[in-house]
Amino acid sequence: MNRDTTATPVVTRVAPSPTGPFHVGTARTALFNYLYAKRVRGRFLVRIEDTDKARSTKEFEEDILDGMRLLGLVCDDMVRQSERVEQHAERLRELVAQDKAYVSREPSKSDPSVEVEVVRLRNPGTTITFHDEVRGDITFDTGELGDFVIARSLRDPLYHFAVVVDDADMGVTHVIRGEDHISNTPRQILIQQALGLPRPVYAHLPLILAQDRSKLSKRKGATAVADYIAKGYLPSALVNFLALLGWNSGSDKEVFTLDELVTAFSLDGVQKGGAVFDVVKLQWLNKQHRLMLPFEEQRNLMLSHVHGVEGVYDALSNSEAAMHDILERYATGEELRTAVDSGEFSFYERRPEVTREMLVWKKDPTPERAGERLAHIVELLQTIDGDFTTDTVREALNEYAESEGKGNVLWPMRMALSGKDRSPDPFVLAEALGTIETKARLKAAIVACS
């Protein structure tokens, strides 16, 4: 059952550790918490769990917060776990004083010759059942957990204890997190019971899987959010994609803005099975979100990835037709840059070298006329009065191409301008190269045919 209406105002939270970059798994968890809270006019909180002093850094914290802002996940409040040491210590002392926990002196796990003090919870060994909003009732026998450790000392709580205290003090009503935390829940419920704290509503999200359906890892594509943005993915597309990783709106609609997701989101739509991280789907969504932008903004996004590649940059800057061709071909700026670096658009950077064999259309019954046709193309281009554009070039050549056979005319033209059998159509190439360079390349091809 999805509890979208409650007597107590809903408070959700995301609790990332600043021990690494803001990755897609954490981003998906943050997004679902944000959507649920905003859907029911609740509060969305961020708690930076920075108690791992050896691995936590300010740089990673800033990356997390910057990533959330970039995705539009604005929180209502933020706290750092390291700033709550006194609250944790007070609750630990309370449990020890009530004999619900005790200090135990025992050999160190890392060095058995050294004795250390830890704090253990007195475990009543009961059976615990909690309701998961995604998975239904889940039951654990806590007897096998024994008196588990909840702190290294009275001032150094472990994860489970700090989480319980912080969630209660922050008024968290709904804990929405990955399914890998299910096994943590019985320990945390035992701590809640010992402290006399209310139990939040739990919802455990499905794992994000790689294409081979193994758990997504850094090695298998769990790239940081900042890396996806650097590749040219739009924040809005990334948000849309992450929302569909384990959630379905119940309709055929797949393209959502953040505001539309807030309106549509429900825990009822969260699936139990793992969600495959499909890069092809992300690329498709990026195209859809890019199409929502003005053309100039789309152009600037792509141009930012080919700075320094003079010929390509100039062609795409000066020709709308060439840029439209690029926008149709590529989902991201990184894809474009990879294609440019591989030489796919070398014809924008330098004049190709062509041979007679290259210029003849394979279905041309009169291959000896290739040079003659190229010469007539040059003559027809001379008749263009005004701007030299895709449309005016097409208009000048269309009747001739129809009469002679499009392949017989347009193939040698394409090859003369690009030197490649796969390239934008010759009308687009002509606009991008400009009238002077287009005619120069055609004349050089005529010589190659002689």
Task: Please give the positions annotated as active site.
Answer: 218
First to last CA, the chain: 79
List phi, psi (to 5°) of 99.
60, 25
Contact (CB, 8 A) for 261 and 236: no
Tokens describing residue 134: 């995604």
